[in-house]
Amino acid sequence: MSLPQILYGTAWKKERTSALVVEAVLQGFRAIDTAGQPKHYNEEFVGAALQILQDQHGIKREDIWLQTKFTSINGQDTTKPLPYDPTQPIPNQVQTSFSDSLKNLRTTYLDSYILHSPLPTRDGTLEAWRTLGKLQDEGHVRRIGVSNPYDVGTLEALAKERPVQVVQNRWYEGNQWDKEVCAYCKRNGMMYQSFWTLTGSPRLLTHPSLNALAQRHHKTPEQILFRLAQTRGVVPLAGSTDRGRMRDGVETEQIELVNEEEEVQKLTSVTGLDA
């Protein structure tokens, strides 16, 4: 399966998760992002949605690019059921959480399995990373990566053990579009996934060049921003609960930003996508 250009994010969907995942796929999404973190995600509902899609719509598991995450204890709500015993060694926690994710998602493999964030210590992060590598070697996971690493040093440390294939970070005005990490991923052939792409960049969405492109292509500024990111190697997460906006997100792949050098250059300079 080829790498997706856009992912549907399932955070904070709660009891609506199944219905929204089904709708997102019916509107054209073929990549789903979730996490083994009951505080913000519900993997079981994602798994139920995948079953509905197969049984009622003929869309098979292998047609969907599926990604979930190992969330360490500092990212969990301990008042909710945990996907592992936090008193166990880190490798055991990862293995148990992974098995729980497979069960929840009703699958035998993952297209991508990532750390939800670096662990509190570098040694702990490396322990977890080695366990992801073992899962990959065993054929259970196709790609491995990490979310929320906002310094290149973390990625370099992981890469000494095994190449990082996926990075998922906030990409927005507040961190200057994560320019250093984004450029590092681009240089090293890593898949860079962005979240907060729209909600975190309100001023960028009003940029004259972005709006000029939107008017010229008869698209929304949000669609142009997604497409600009995609053409520069950034894979955005979209989590809309609105059917029309879901469709808008998928349709960004069809936008051709040709002969738009001046406007595109201004925008890529602002976001660092020209690095």
Q: Look over the chain and give the mean of its residue pLDDT values, rounded to a whole number.
A: 96
Residue 217 in any domain: the answer is: no
The better pLDDT of the pair 136, 258 is held by 136
pLDDT digits (tens, 9 = 90+) for 194-220: 999 999 999 999 999 999 999 999 999
Per-residue model confidence (pLDDT) at position 163? 96
Helix orientation angle between 43-57 and 17-26, rounded to the nearest 10 degrees: 40
Q: How confident is the model at residue 53 (pLDDT cuts 50, 70, 90)?
A: very high
Q: Is the pLDDT of residue 189 over 70?
A: yes
CATH of the domain at 146: 3.20.20.100
Q: How many alpha carbons fall within 13 Å on the CB side of residue 61?
A: 13
Per-residue b or e along 200-234, where b marks 16 or more CB atoms closer than 10 Å to that residue's CB: bbeebbebebbebbbeeeebebbbbbbbbbbbbeb
Q: How many domains are contained in the chain?
A: 1
Q: How confident is the model at residue 1 (pLDDT cuts 50, 70, 90)?
A: confident
Residue 261 in any domain: the answer is: no
Q: How confident is the model at residue 262 (pLDDT cuts 50, 70, 90)?
A: confident
Q: How confident is the model at residue 269 (pLDDT cuts 50, 70, 90)?
A: confident
Q: How confident is the model at residue 148 (pLDDT cuts 50, 70, 90)?
A: very high
Q: Is the pLDDT of residue 274 over 80?
A: no
Q: Are 12 and 51 in contact (CB under 8 A)?
A: no
Q: Residue 253: how many CB atoms within 10 A of its CB?
A: 13
Residue 130: which domain range? 7-207+226-255
User: For 31-45, 162-176, 259-273, which range has the lowest pLDDT when averaged over its residues?
Assistant: 259-273
Residue 262 in any domain: the answer is: no
- For the segment 40-46, the average pLDDT, to the nearest whole number, is 98
Residue 219 in any domain: the answer is: no
Per-residue model confidence (pLDDT) at position 257? 87
Per-residue model confidence (pLDDT) at position 183? 95
Q: 218-221 long-range contacts, Cβ below 8 Å, gap at least 24? A: 219/252, 219/255, 220/248
- For the segment 7-22, the average pLDDT, to the nearest whole number, is 98
Local structure of 203: helix, strand or coil: helix
Q: CA 178 to CA 170: how far, in whole Å?
A: 7
Per-residue model confidence (pLDDT) at position 258? 77
Q: Is the pLDDT of residue 275 over 90?
A: no
CA-closest candidate to residue 72, choices 150, 151, 148 = 148
Q: Where are the alpha helices (DSSP H) in the chain?
A: 17-26, 43-57, 90-105, 122-137, 152-161, 179-187, 202-205, 208-217, 221-231, 243-251, 261-271
Q: How confident is the model at residue 11 (pLDDT cuts 50, 70, 90)?
A: very high
- Whole-model pTM: value is 0.96
Per-residue model confidence (pLDDT) at position 158? 98
Per-residue model confidence (pLDDT) at position 2? 85
Residue 268 in any domain: the answer is: no
User: For 53-57, 84-88, 173-177, which range has the lowest pLDDT when averaged over its residues?
Assistant: 173-177
Residue 221 in any domain: the answer is: no
Q: Which two tokens stand for residue 62?
A: 């292998």
Q: How confident is the model at residue 119 (pLDDT cuts 50, 70, 90)?
A: very high
CA-closest candidate to residue 70, choices 116, 106, 103 = 116
User: Which residues contact residue 142 at a Cβ distance below 8 angstroms, ignoring those fewer than 6 apart?
Assistant: 109, 110, 111, 112, 136
